[in-house]
């Protein structure tokens, strides 16, 4: 394939660009972009953040509408819900739907029906990138409106969610990690009491649109539902979670995103008349806490910590590479993570056939078809590529970029991809895949006032 390859942009680039724009346009829904018309027809939190990065290249006004519509559904405590439900859709358009979450019964919930969970806080980073891509008075005004909401999002995580007391936020559900059925959650999930028979009372929506063999199992879903039900029945309150909540994990990707958010807020603050100093201090604190609490010097990797057992989880997943996005990650950890990324487990190289898988390729339970247990995903690859660039590894970042573009050139804007064959899996017209392809194809930031961002062909 030639899309963005060493041979330079060509017809493939033009074709990919058009496909990506058409995918984003096709998924646009009055004030946001759905991840997928079939599988995920509402608004998802970190999807909207990644999507805004792509929209900034082609429809900058929509990039800001995307983020602002999401933050309109922010709760009074600062949490940004992981799903904002579209009231125009019929009951059963997604499971679990608004009737299950019952956000209208919770204190501090917004007028819109939402979930009560969050997702990795990549929004400040992507707002900063969207602004840098297409700076304008309108973009600066949008940033000024978003800034206090982004700060409140961070405050919620840093205060209500620091259940371990060590300066990191914990996730209270695998859905909050974004990597729903990652092998990283197998241990913590095994401790969640659930009976698979409860699923007889529900109708799963996902397996109507994707093969069951690609999706989390019914037992996974029984546990997902049980964790939500407990949290919901406690009014989605976070006090005393350590005593009563069955799933509490500190995730390296989630916290790396929180650290990157403080770095981004430090860049945004002067533009909106705020002080960048506190953001720099908080960023340094998160990086220090990540290294202290989640870095395992024995294996040279970052791993999630299960707060119920106090132990790091054994699985080596792509989550462990995410701290690379922190510009202040200390050199020994940078070297270790790059070594892990370049190992046979993940296969990063200057010349690589396929992007990163979501899980260690050499693990006996690696599953190339099942969701976050093996397949390659564009958003994670995009984050790791940014991390490689931040730490002076443009050679590896370029290998990753070409492998990502090759995947989409071969299979289209799928949700995820077979990590060996490159076959497209899941939804065939997926929002963040399209958006991040645009970002990979576009040149690095457009000069202030430049229009478009479309690559030369």
Binding site for ligand 2M8 (CB under 6 A): 35, 40, 44, 46-47, 82, 175, 178, 180, 206
CA angle 116, 117, 118 (to 5 degrees): 130
Name the nearest CA neighbour of 256 among 46, 409, 87, 65: 46
- Burial string for 214-252 (b: 16+ CB within 10 Å, else e) reads bbbebebbbbbbbbbebbbebebebeebeeebbbbbbbb
Name the nearest CA neighbour of 206 among 231, 181, 182: 181
d(C-alpha 444, C-alpha 423), whole Å: 29
238: tokens are 């976070």
Nearest residue (CB) to ligand 2M8, 35 versus 399: 35
Please name the residue that has the structure tokens 């346009």.
25
Give the helix, strand, coil percentages of the chain, each rounded to 5: 50, 5, 45
**DSSP track, 150-215:** HHHHHHHHHHTT-TTSSS---BSSHHHHS-TT-GGGHHHHHTS---GGGGGGS--SHHHHS-GGGS
**DSSP track, 242-255:** HHH-S--EE-HHHH
Name the nearest CA neighbour of 359 among 378, 346, 344: 346
d(C-alpha 202, C-alpha 212), whole Å: 15
Q: Which residues are catalytic?
A: 180, 415
CA 432 → CA 97, 195, 293, 330, 439, distances in Å? 22, 34, 31, 30, 10
84: tokens are 């904002």
Secondary structure class of 288 (helix, strand, coil)? helix
Nearest residue (CB) to ligand 2M8, 42 versus 393: 42
> Do residues 269 and 127 lie in contact, with contact meaning Cβ atoms separated by under 8 Å?
no
Secondary structure class of 327 (helix, strand, coil)? coil
d(C-alpha 251, C-alpha 263), whole Å: 19
């Amino acid at each position: 394939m030639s899309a963005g390859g060493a041979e330079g942009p060509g017809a493939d680039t033009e074709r990919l660009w058009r496909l990506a724009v058409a995918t984003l346009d096709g998924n646009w829904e009055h004030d946001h972009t759905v991840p997928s018309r079939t599988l995920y027809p509402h608004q998802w939190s970190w999807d909207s953040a990644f999507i805004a990065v792509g929209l900034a290249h082609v429809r900058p006004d929509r990039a800001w509408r995307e983020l602002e519509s999401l933050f309109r559904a922010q709760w009074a405590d600062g949490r940004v819900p992981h799903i904002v439900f579209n009231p125009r859709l019929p009951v059963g358009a997604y499971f679990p739907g608004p009737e299950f979450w019952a956000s209208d019964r919770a204190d501090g919930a917004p007028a819109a029906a939402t979930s009560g969970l969050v997702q990795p806080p990549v929004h400040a980073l992507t707002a900063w990138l969207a602004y840098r891509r297409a700076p304008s008075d309108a973009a600066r005004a949008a940033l000024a409106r978003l800034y206090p909401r982004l700060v409140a999002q961070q405050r919620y995580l840093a205060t209500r969610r620091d259940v371990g007391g060590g300066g990191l936020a914990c996730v209270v559900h695998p859905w909050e990690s974004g990597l729903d059925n990652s092998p990283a959650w197998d241990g913590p999930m095994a401790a969640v009491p659930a009976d698979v028979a409860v699923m007889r009372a529900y109708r799963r929506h996902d397996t109507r649109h994707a093969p069951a063999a690609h999706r989390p199992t019914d037992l996974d879903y029984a546990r997902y539902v049980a964790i939500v039900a407990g949290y919901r029945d406690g009014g989605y309150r976070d006090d005393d979670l350590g005593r009563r909540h069955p799933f509490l994990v500190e995730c390296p990707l989630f916290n790396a995103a929180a650290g990157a958010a403080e770095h981004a807020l430090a860049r945004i603050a002067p533009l909106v008349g705020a002080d960048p100093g506190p953001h720099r201090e908080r960023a340094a604190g998160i990086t220090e806490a990540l290294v202290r609490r989640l870095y395992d010097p024995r294996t040279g990797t970052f791993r999630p910590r299960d707060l119920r057992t106090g132990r790091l989880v054994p699985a080596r997943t792509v989550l462990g590479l995410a701290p690379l996005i922190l510009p202040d990650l200390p050199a020994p950890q940078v070297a270790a993570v790059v070594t892990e990324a370049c190992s046979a487990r993940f296969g990063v190289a200057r010349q690589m056939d396929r992007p990163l898988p979501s899980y260690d390729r050499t693990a006996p339970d690696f599953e190339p078809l099942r969701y976050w247990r093996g397949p390659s995903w564009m958003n994670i690859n995009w984050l790791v590529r940014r991390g490689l660039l931040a730490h002076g590894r443009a050679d590896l970042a370029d290998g990753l970029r070409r492998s990502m573009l090759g995947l989409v050139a071969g299979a289209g804007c799928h949700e995820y991809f077979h990590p060996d064959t490159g076959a497209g899996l899941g939804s065939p017209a997926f929002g963040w895949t399209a958006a991040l392809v645009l970002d990979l194809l576009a040149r690095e930031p457009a000069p202030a006032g430049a229009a478009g961002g479309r690559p030369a062909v």
